[in-house]
Amino acid sequence: MANSGFEAMTISERVAKFIVDFNLEDAPEELVSITETAFLDTVGVMLAGAHEHAAKIVCDMVAAEGATGQATVVGRALRTSPENAALCNGTATQALDFDLSYMIGQSAAAIIPGLLPLAETTDARPTELIAAFIVGCEACARFARAIPTLSSEGRWHGSGVLGVLSAAAAFARLTGVPVETVPQVIGISASMASGLSENFGTMTKPLHPGLAARSGMMATFLGARGFTASPNAIEGPSGFLPLFARGLHWDAVPFDDLGETYCLVDPGYKIKPFSCGGLLHTAIEATLYLREEALTRVDKISRIIVGTTKHTIQRAIDSYPWSEDSSRFSFKYIIPYAIIHGAPMLSAFKKEALDDAAVRDLSERVEVVVDDEFTKFTGSGFSPNRVTIVFENGDKLEHVVYHASGSKEAPMSENTIKEKFISCANQTVSDDRASELYAYFRSFRDRKNLEALWPLLAAED
């Protein structure tokens, strides 16, 4: 996006120019396909999470407010304001920790949960949603690259901190906020950024993208109405980047290629094969690789050593889980479960599964350490894991997985993507409805309007 004087713009002005100037017709075909898959996967996990306890509590609170029913809450019979629908949808999206990983964790998780109700209330077209998602994700990627250790060293949760900026960018595009007003939207959203990683393993973690979706929409509505913010809210001395970095290195250079390269294409996002913390997935796959041989003498296992990164240890829970939410971040649960029962799918994170005596017994032999090979990895976008199973007689089984299934390096097949979507959607809707939704998003760009989508997303009678 070469432009004379571009370097002299504030970061908010650079983002604003990209948001307004982006032309979907000039975008690579691959970018559109990637976006259609993102909508498919996100709607699937949103439907699966819609009736989880965290999502239900949020929806009950929203229902009690009695807001005008303008927008559909995905997977529910509830209709409410677009802001409240975004809050409900965002919480449901991450309730099972099954949503896309992008850049720093699930930093783009708030975009689609808010785009859907916003589109419903503005009669947007599918191609407009696609363009808005791309814009939000590309802005998100630059904020993530500007502070690459925001999560790993800063301990912030990307879904809330970067999520609100990403959502605001996407929503500004969808609602047609003029270029001179977008910096106000970005500045307002910067003051709404929040998300503590200390809340991992609780209902508050999925609340982060819910809050980001609602706040991003509020920032958009306020900015469009003339609400003001600092033009230097991102890079100013007391702005977003220096304050959230708090002594960590940050750099505005990543914004220079905004509109010229697409991070959605490279490095892309990761589609999760398991509904748990993404940093644990390579350990699960390494365990499954060893499972057949380990299972024949499971009673002779003396130690299970998970060699991982420092960042993963910071995010994982070093104990046997005490709740369904905490089970999604516990090596001491997920690894023995994978040995005894196989791949930990949705049912693995239910209370009855946590009470499995064999899993609990084997968990006492799990140790999690920083692997010597992985000490140099300080960012959060790469999470290799080594699993070593040691038997009483000294025999060892060992396997390393560097890239999880669903990543650009180990892509999922279309059949696997479909199976995940159907299994998730079936938690809320019938087989027929799930199949209809799958077909809808697989031809998303060709739809003339979105009228047929809203009844498909609502709860069935």
The contacts of residue 13 (CB under 8 Å, 6+ apart) are 183, 231
pLDDT at residue 152, rounded to an integer: 86
Rounded CA-CA distance 363/241 in Å is 41
Residue ranges of domains in the chain, CATH in brackets: 6-270 (1.10.4100.10), 278-401 (3.30.1330.120)
pLDDT tens for each residue of 377-420 = 765 567 899 999 999 999 999 999 999 999 999 999 999 999 99
pLDDT at residue 442, rounded to an integer: 97
The runs of H, that is alpha helices, within 316-406 are: 324-327, 331-341, 351-354, 357-363
pLDDT at residue 239, rounded to an integer: 96
pLDDT at residue 243, rounded to an integer: 96
Rounded CA-CA distance 171/165 in Å is 10
pLDDT at residue 106, rounded to an integer: 93
Which residues, given as ranges, of the chain have pLDDT below 70?
1-7, 378-381, 461
Rounded CA-CA distance 293/318 in Å is 26
| CA angle (271 as vertex; 270, 272 as ends), nearest 5 | 110
pLDDT at residue 6, rounded to an integer: 53
pLDDT at residue 460, rounded to an integer: 78
pLDDT at residue 2, rounded to an integer: 37
pLDDT tens for each residue of 284-294 = 999 999 999 99
